[in-house]
């Protein structure tokens, strides 16, 4: 976009075009989420009269087809850059000063520099941690492990645990906290936890102390409680940190926050006037569409009419677990912190599909409202296709939707989404 505005642009990328999302994040995760969904679909089909034999899953086929798709996407990004006239360096870049970058054995000068290096999996200091996998490796294993211990309680841990359980693995999810998805609405966490408990073994308030290799190649996992688990693989999904290692920030005036993120102002300028930063390294919202939106704001600020803005308060997000979790706006707890009174509307029901499939999975919907203004403050859901459903409501919330407007919307029947426009009784 900057090149199309007339700027002379170069990009240095040490790993792969498209970043985390395309290569080891959103795209492979969603493809594997689809793969896991088929297991549920085969089971559900019997209740609708389909005579389904015992399905067989082939891991190498999924991995091979996923690699083909990602290679295609890498090529698309390369072509976009080339057509825009952007020069690319397939190498690690290091800052020499406020205007100079060392890359591919040469020094490149620039009027402005943008740090958009994303995040990287955090591996805790743990004896035997080198035996574990991270989200960077989990999608490309040569064989599918039969038993996996997933360590973590955030969205990456929940998604991958749910996906690999759907692919037929024996999954245990260990988290040192007492609730999963602690940054989400508490009711979402409660409903998702109940759903996951039917698919895998949950080990809450459980802390890993050591990993060790057994003679048969499996891994022994020790816990603070004295318990042990024997598994074929351990996935550490214990968070992500800004990817700033070896970047040469010490050669500039760029300042980091106490939590390790690059400090920027409203226009994404760092404390070094010629250097900007955006995306996961600034620690606002670690979502790919947010990073893209921030980039568009920066390009418009530097080379456009400086009218583009970005508000972070009504950005929707989805956890691609089974079932999915989707949310936009404030949680109930957040709403109660900044409003004198909050009205909660909820629905907890069994999807029409499962009246015949026989599955006991339940769908949960929640709307958080400010009674004083009638404005909808937050919308939350646990259930199938939650992400697809929430996207439209996010647009409505960005337009300042009120509860009366939500109520006046005629629903599409029979759908899950219509439940959002038929919530009439205040729960609390």
Q: Are 249 and 95 in contact (CB under 8 A)?
A: yes
Q: Cα separation of 81 and 278, whole Å? A: 19
The dihedrals phi and psi of 319, each to the nearest 5 degrees, come to: -100, 115
Say how many C-beta atoms besides its own lie within 10 A of residue 307's C-beta. Answer: 8
Query: Tokens 């057994």 map to which residue?
Result: 214
The dihedrals phi and psi of 148, each to the nearest 5 degrees, come to: -130, 135
191 assigned to active site: no
Instruction: Given the residues 99, 301, 339, 413, select the one marked as catalytic.
Output: 413
Q: Cα separation of 404 and 333, whole Å? A: 23
Q: Which residues are catalytic?
A: 413
């Amino acid at each position: 976009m900057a090149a199309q505005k007339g700027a002379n642009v170069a990009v240095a990328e040490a790993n792969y075009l498209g970043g985390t999302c395309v290569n080891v994040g959103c795209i492979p995760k969603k493809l594997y989420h689809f793969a896991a969904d088929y297991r549920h679909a085969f089971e559900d089909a019997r209740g609708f009269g389909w005579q389904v034999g015992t399905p067989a899953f082939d891991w190498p086929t999924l991995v091979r087809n996923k690699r083909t798709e990602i290679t295609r996407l890498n090529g698309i990004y390369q072509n976009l850059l080339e057509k825009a006239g952007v020069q690319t360096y397939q190498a690690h870049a290091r800052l020499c000063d406020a205007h100079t970058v060392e890359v591919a054995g040469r020094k490149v000068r620039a009027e402005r520099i943008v740090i958009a290096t994303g995040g990287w999996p955090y591996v805790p200091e743990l004896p035997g941690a080198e035996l574990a996998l991270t989200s960077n490796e989990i999608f490309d294993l040569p064989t599918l492990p039969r038993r996996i211990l997933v360590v973590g309680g955030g969205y990456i841990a929940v998604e991958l645990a749910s996906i690999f359980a759907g692919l037929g693995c024996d999954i245990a999810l260990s988290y040192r906290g007492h609730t999963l998805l602690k940054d989400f609405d508490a009711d979402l966490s409660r409903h998702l936890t109940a759903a996951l408990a039917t698919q895998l073994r949950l080990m809450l308030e459980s802390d890993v102390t050591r990993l060790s290799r057994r003679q048969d190649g499996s891994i022994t996992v020790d816990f603070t409680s004295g318990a042990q688990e024997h598994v074929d693989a351990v996935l550490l999904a214990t968070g992500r940190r800004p990817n700033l290692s070896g970047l040469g920030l010490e050669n500039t005036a760029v300042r980091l926050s106490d939590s390790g993120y690059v400090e920027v102002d409203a226009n994404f300028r760092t404390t070094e006037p010629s250097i900007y930063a955006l995306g996961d390294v600034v620690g606002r919202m670690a979502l790919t569409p947010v990073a893209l939106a921030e980039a568009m704001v920066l390009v418009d600020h530097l080379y456009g009419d400086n009218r583009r803005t970005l508000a972070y308060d009504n950005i929707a997000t989805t956890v691609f677990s089974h079932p999915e979790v989707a949310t936009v706006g404030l949680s109930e707890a957040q709403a109660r912190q900044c409003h004198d009174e909050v009205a909660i509307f909820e629905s907890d029901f069994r999807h029409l599909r499962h009246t015949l499939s026989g599955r006991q999975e339940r769908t949960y919907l929640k709307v958080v409202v400010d009674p004083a203004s009638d404005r909808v403050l937050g919308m939350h859901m646990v259930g199938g296709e939650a992400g697809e459903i929430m996207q439209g409501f996010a647009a409505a919330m960005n337009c300042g939707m009120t509860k009366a407007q939500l109520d006046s919307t005629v629903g599409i029947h029979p759908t899950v989404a219509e439940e959002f426009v038929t919530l009439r009784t205040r729960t609390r």
